[in-house]
Amino acid sequence: MVLSLGVSLALFLMTLLSMVLMLLGVGVLTTPWLLHVVRVHANQRRALAGEWAGLPMGAPYRPLPPGPRGVTGHVEWCVLMLKDPATWRDFAWLISDAIFGFVLALLPVALIAYAVEGWVMFAGVWRAVAGDYWYGFIHVDTFGDAVQCAALGSFVLLLGLYANPRLISAHFQLARALLAPTRGARLAQRVEHLYETRHDAVDTSAAELRRIERDLHDGAQARLVAMGMSLGTVEALIEHDPAKAKQLIAQARESSAEALTELRDLVRGIHPPVLAERGLGDAAQALALRMQTPVEADVELPGRFAEPVESAAYFAVSEVLTNAAKHSGADRIWLDIHYTYDTGGMLRISVTDDGRGGADISKGSGIAGIERRLGPFDGVLALSSPPGGPTMVTLEIPCRPI
């Protein structure tokens, strides 16, 4: 009630006045700040709609550049916010929330209060107001009238218990009609997300190619070049110094074995053989067995998934387990991988450790790399790491078994 009648009405009037003052130039400085406060207020109502009425809704706003600097920045900021259709939907919601939203928020309180009033009359207050008071359609004068007040109050209480959840839901349905993203806004956000994830995928692929080229250049290629030089020397010495030639041949054989090992490791880094042959579940369990910190793995999957999905999930698990073993100081790690068929099918992975906690998703490139890896699949990452632990990293990837 306070948010609807007090805050919404006050913001509507102040924003309207600020827009009028734009004709004098003053409103250009105040309007963007007020619209920012309106968005904070609207986002709070969106959050309450999800918590209280089970009506989650995202923010429909277009992305904005960093905050204004000087008058030019204020003007640009003001223009960008006023061009956003969601701004005007918020403005319409403010006045509707101050009127209809307030009434829908008031009725549940009024029903409970009116029911309590009937029982207060029955408790003895009827004697003080006898002959001069009406409770609904009951003229309060005698004890019999007080009993009727209690009966009517009980009926109003039952009515409130039935109607109040629906009134609260109607309050947030009204907000949802104006605050939820429209189909056009959802499509625009989807296009923006796909644009970003496409660039992230391209950047990730380019970085991976550079890593492979660097590993080949610094490892296997160098050994193969050295082996070729050794064989050239052997060709020159084989007639004059057979013993030295044999020694060089042995060195070349060792270099070829080391180059082959490095190539195998490189291929395994691109796509591990166990992942290609046995799938994500067995590959994750094999990965858990190789960790220095004990990992308790619980894997339950219906089968194989598309190769890109399995590869992204495997390397994401590898990165999270490595971070947990390296930075958390944990004594034990729990890995849980399972698949659910809700929301069209979802691969869910959680990694929990009993370490010191305090991990921050904004610090370090490892978590950001995992998010970029999951981005092309519409995957998400969530981190919970309070100081003192435990730390839980949850990954979700929409997909279907093959």
CA proximity to 291, closest of 345, 344, 328, 340: 328
What is the pLDDT, as a whole number, of residue 342? 75
The residue ranges of every structural domain in the chain are: 2-123+155-179, 185-270, 275-398
Dist. CA 225–CA 247, nearest whole Å: 18
Domain 275-398 has CATH 3.40.47.10: no
pLDDT tens-digit profile of 289-341? 888 788 899 999 988 998 888 888 888 888 888 888 887 788 899 999 999 98
User: What residue type is assigned to position 52 of the chain?
Assistant: W
CB atoms within 10 A of CB 137: 7
* The pLDDT of residue 70 is above 50: no
DSSP sequence for 58-99: ---PPP-PSPP-HHHHHHHHHHHHHH-HHHHHHHHHHHHIII
pLDDT tens digits, 261-279: 767 666 666 667 778 788 8
Q: What is the dihedral of CA 218, 221, 223, 224, to 10 degrees?
A: -170
Tell whether the model's pLDDT for residue 194 goes beyond 50.
Answer: yes
Q: Assess contact for 42 and 93: CB atoms under 8 A.
A: yes
Answer yes or no: is pLDDT of 23 > 90: no
Please tell me which of 100-104, 264-268, 385-389 the model is most confident about, judged by mean pLDDT.
100-104
For residue 334 the two structure tokens come to: 């729990």
pLDDT given at position 225: 67
Q: Provide the whole-model pTM.
A: 0.52
Nearest to 270 by CA among 208, 190, 226, 228: 208
**3-class DSSP state for residue 398?**
strand
